[in-house]
Structure 1
Amino acid sequence: MAPPKVALRVNTGITTRTRTIHCSNPHQMETLNKGIGDKINKIIRGKRKADCSPSKDKIVKRSALGDLTNNGENNTNTDGGAKIAKTIKKLTVQSKVLPSVKTVQQKRKPNENLAPPSAPVANKITTRATSKVPTVYPSQTAVKPKEKEKGTGVVATTKKRLSNEFEKTDKEESLYSSALEEIAKRPVTRSSKASTGSLDDSLKDSTCSKESNSLSFVAQQLQTKLNLGAHDVPEGVTDYDKENWDDVYQVSHYAMDIFNYYREKEKDFQVGDYMDKQVCLTKWMRSLLVDWMVEIQESFELNHETLYLGVKLVDMYLDRVVVSKETLQLVGAASMFVASKFDERIPPMIDDFLYICDGAYNRREMIRMEINLIKVIGFNLGIPISYRFLRRYARCGKVTMPVLTLARYILEFSLMEYETIRIKDSLLAAASLYLALRMKKVSMWTPTLEFYTGYKLDDIKNTVLLLNKSISKPAKSQIMTVKNKYSHKIFFEVAKTPVIKDEDLF
């Protein structure tokens, strides 16, 4: 049973719902009553800001379809549709610095025959290089004092892994190392002194050269065996991956194979023409829903990948399940909720999505729709989206940021067009980039873009004409979120770029 809720009337005239707060302390009740007169702030967890997203001071809750929602009330006001807003209180997360590891000496037990008190005890972390005397366990025979004096005089200490390997000093080596670090640092010895000798003796017996143990040598061996990045670049094409071969953030060794794999997987996520079997839905209702999802992405400052994945999940679900108009907004909210869990570092909570739906659904309905959505799509969220293709093509073509932002605006505006759901995401990304290049009068379709996209100019012509027609139409007041978003200075005001005629495109 849901907890009791009470409506509170504040000074601003906004009616909202909150849980009843029981307070027995008169002083706390006075403080609570005093705070009711102010704005009631909704606290959500701090979010990482989306790429180049303008700052949002308010979060808007509204129904996606206006009077088509199952809220039972018409949310459109006579004063131009004023939106109910609540101020976000962002929680700042302070980074915690892990304490340095303190060395722990082995506790002596009364039954163990250890070294006499006068023997020196090593008070440092034991590494693989310095650990020469095996540790004495209770089940083993204790080492005799005379035999210990003949050795190096170092008592075995408890091995302890550093909690934070970034805090180690020059004298301390982390035991938590990767495989490549082990190959590079571990001395190879064949002498029996490695078990009982000193550190100097083990280093003298090292027979492995620096060149064979270097990380570059290991990387070259992996590249040769796995055949990484082996693709022939035609003459006249800029080899972008070769230029950034040593940049770990570009993953040039795998990038070509990754996007070739994405191209092959596109056929598994094709969406059909489902609007004929959706008896309760129309294309206009889908456009309103996508516009509302864009507003969610902007309000919660989510990644753009989350938005594209959420829209893709909506289309895949509607292609397989017939829904009513009252459930359409629930499908959109659940899709954004699932996409946030997949792409976001700190996804919003379920209460945030329930709030932005303006109380149209409860927690149980949201969770059940989330489960049903994941089952329908077969638990496969690794969907190739057009936004990832666009970023890859723009990098390989070395386009400027204003041109890329214009291509992002064209691509995001196409999400509201029902005619684009059957087009491959890689083709949509290539067409959006070409249209942006022509609108900015930068260049035509270059051999480099043709090679990395895999599409010739003839392959993208029809899609370019469709996208140009979409952004050329007069914008309707109900779906202005994308246009207003990209009219901001942070996005170089690309939405105000003059459109180009069809005969001037090619």
Structure 2
Amino acid sequence: MASRPIVPLQQQQARGEGVIGGRKKRVVLGDIGNLDRVKGANINLNRPITRSLCAQLLAKAEAGENNKNVAIPNVTGPKPQVADEVVAKRRVAPKPAEKKVTAKPKPVEVIEISPDKEVQNDKFVNKNKEGDALSKKKSQTLTSVLTARSKAACGLTKKPKEQIVDIDAGDSGNELAAVEYIEDMYKFYKLAENESHPHQYMDSQPEINERMRAILVDWLIDVHTKFDLSPETLYLTINIVDRFLAVKTVPRRELQLVGVSAMLMASKYEEIWPPEVNDFVCLTDRAYTHEQILVMEKIILGKLEWTLTVPTPFVFLTRFIKASVPDQELENMAHFFSELGMMHYATLVYCPSMVAASAVFAARCTLNKTPIWNETLQLHTGYSEEQLMDCARLLVSFHSTLVNGKLKVLYRKYSDPQRRAVAMLPPAKNLMPENSCGSRV
């Protein structure tokens, strides 16, 4: 087995080794540049000093971490340089500018042009810009001129656009107004009104004519007023009478019995405290007994299949009056025309919503309201002024003959000062039959 060669102590010391207690002791080098500590050793550096290492040494020298003169080997020769001298030179020498890392721009193709061409191109660009601005100004001016001429030709400059009034804004806090569902409800009423609307039936009634029906309705209005019933009860009563007469032949002597039984049914449906059967017996001067009224009530319910929830003209009238933004006089006048139309058989050809809208239209014409019809009314009624003209003229013709007629109940009712005596006002001249066209405002 080969033994390790013994190195003399001097050579060990020359290599930086020592013997302590029989063991070798290595002297840790404080710096790579402290080459003068190793006495008698001539070491040539084969590895050049890098920039990062040199920067570290200079930073330590400037911070004062190593106050001793540290010899820095010169890369170009064996003679070392003192760190202080290097620092002095570094301080005297100007610092190189730091390189900023920037993205290299893409090479731009440079086109050399003469000064004359530059001036000409600048002028060309300016001319183009000025031409674009002038063309824009000219196009805007031309458009505005044409728009103004079109409006002037159509007469729109003098008529500002009407605003549709939100008639339910005031009832937003009223739960009974059902503002969230009111529009859907009236859409349903419009669809359902034709199903419950009675057709013309006088040709199928051999013993009843239009005059007898008018007398019955006039008497029922009087009874309704004496009992102080709600308007819904009156409208439902007339609806029940007409629907029953449309499906059942009634003798003349039972016509009043049909009216009494219909009002009893409507009162039970609409009123909180409806009149009793004996009250109707007394009103008919005991022409019909208690049992006859109840038997007729049962017959009517059977023929109508117990259908009492129907959209009468009153259902639409309340909504259309609200859309008209009325005063007390206009409201009473609209109710007057609606009941006047209900009393005459000729209005049965029109659906309930049209009768209600025509009543509001005729009332506005009678009271000289301007405008007679607007966008808000047309939106909520669904009818234009031209569509309502025929029915409104019919209602005004009834108004003109009411004073000299024999049926005075309705005239007396609406001649009351509490109802603003609207029946006593002169009929609307622009809706009289001799006038071929209505007012245009």
Distance of 1:416 and 1:382 partners within structure 2: 21
Secondary structure class of the residue paired with 2:310: coil
Distance 1:322 1:494, change over 3 A: same
Match for 1:495: what amino acid?
A
Distance of 1:406 and 1:300 partners within structure 2: 22
Match for 1:405: what amino acid?
N
Corresponding position: 1:246 with 2:173 = yes
Q: 1:437 aligns with which of 359, 364, 371?
A: 364
Corresponding residue of 1:261: 188
Secondary structure class of the residue paired with 2:426: coil
Distance of 1:344 and 1:238 partners within structure 2: 33
Corresponding residue of 1:410: 337
Q: 1:457 aligns with which of 365, 382, 385?
A: 385
Q: 1:351 aligns with which of 271, 278, 295?
A: 278
Match for 1:456: what amino acid?
S
Corresponding residue of 1:46: none
CA contact (8 A) 2:218 2:410 kept: yes
CA contact (8 A) 2:321 2:334 kept: no
Corresponding residue of 1:448: 376
Distance of 1:295 and 1:254 partners within structure 2: 35
Corresponding residue of 2:209: 282
Distance apart, 1:242 and its partner CA: 3.7
CA contact (8 A) 1:435 1:505 kept: no
Which structure 2 residues correspond to residues 64-463 of structure 1 after superposition, within 5 A? 236-443=163-370, 444-463=372-391
Distance 1:281 1:472, change over 3 A: same
Corresponding residue of 1:483: 411
Corresponding residue of 2:79: none
Distance of 2:397 and 2:403 partners within structure 1: 12
Match for 1:436: what amino acid?
A
Corresponding residue of 2:397: 469
Root-mean-square deviation (Å): 1.5
Q: Which runs of 4+ in 1 moved over 4 A?
A: none
CA contact (8 A) 2:260 2:280 kept: yes
CA contact (8 A) 2:323 2:377 kept: yes
Distance of 1:478 and 1:448 partners within structure 2: 38
Distance apart, 1:451 and its partner CA: 0.3
Match for 1:487: what amino acid?
S
Match for 1:355: what amino acid?
C
CA contact (8 A) 1:409 1:495 kept: yes
Aligned residue pairs total: 273
**TM-score, normalized by length of structure 1?**
0.53
Q: Which has the larger radius of gyration?
A: 2
Distance apart, 1:388 and its partner CA: 2.0
CA contact (8 A) 2:337 2:359 kept: yes
Secondary structure class of the residue paired with 2:176: coil
Secondary structure class of the residue paired with 1:280: coil
Distance apart, 1:476 and its partner CA: 5.1
Which structure 2 residues correspond to residues 42-81 of structure 1 after superposition, within 5 A? none
Distance 1:474 1:343, change over 3 A: closer
- For structure 1, the residue ranges without an aligned partner over 5 or more in a row are 1-233
Distance of 2:369 and 2:398 partners within structure 1: 21
Distance of 2:386 and 2:204 partners within structure 1: 33
Match for 1:471: what amino acid?
H
Match for 2:376: what amino acid?
T
Distance apart, 1:474 and its partner CA: 4.5
Distance of 1:323 and 1:373 partners within structure 2: 11
Deviations 1:308-351 (A, max 9, x none): 11011100000000011000000000010000001111100010
Distance 1:477 1:471, change over 3 A: closer
CA contact (8 A) 1:241 1:253 kept: no
CA contact (8 A) 2:402 2:408 kept: no
CA contact (8 A) 1:306 1:344 kept: yes
Match for 1:395: what amino acid?
K
Secondary structure class of the residue paired with 1:267: coil
Corresponding position: 1:495 with 2:419 = no
Deviations 1:65-103 (A, max 9, x none): xxxxxxxxxxxxxxxxxxxxxxxxxxxxxxxxxxxxxxx
Distance apart, 1:243 and its partner CA: 4.4
Distance of 2:349 and 2:198 partners within structure 1: 6
Secondary structure class of the residue paired with 1:268: coil
Distance of 2:197 and 2:176 partners within structure 1: 30
Distance of 1:477 and 1:462 partners within structure 2: 22
Distance of 2:181 and 2:197 partners within structure 1: 25
Distance of 1:459 and 1:424 partners within structure 2: 12
- For structure 2, the residue ranges without an aligned partner over 5 or more in a row are 1-160
Deviations 1:362-415 (A, max 9, x none): 111111100011111111101111112111111122111110101111111112
Distance apart, 1:258 and its partner CA: 1.2
Secondary structure class of the residue paired with 1:295: helix
Percent of aligned pairs sharing the same letter? 28
CA contact (8 A) 1:262 1:384 kept: yes
Distance 1:484 1:360, change over 3 A: same
Distance of 2:216 and 2:403 partners within structure 1: 16
Distance 1:416 1:259, change over 3 A: same
Distance 1:235 1:438, change over 3 A: closer
Distance of 1:235 and 1:475 partners within structure 2: 38
CA contact (8 A) 2:330 2:363 kept: yes
Distance apart, 1:456 and its partner CA: 1.1
Distance apart, 1:461 and its partner CA: 1.2
Distance of 1:264 and 1:500 partners within structure 2: 32
Distance apart, 1:477 and its partner CA: 5.3
Distance of 1:339 and 1:454 partners within structure 2: 29
Larger % of helix: which?
A: 2
Deviations 1:230-261 (A, max 9, x none): xxxx9721122244322223221111111111
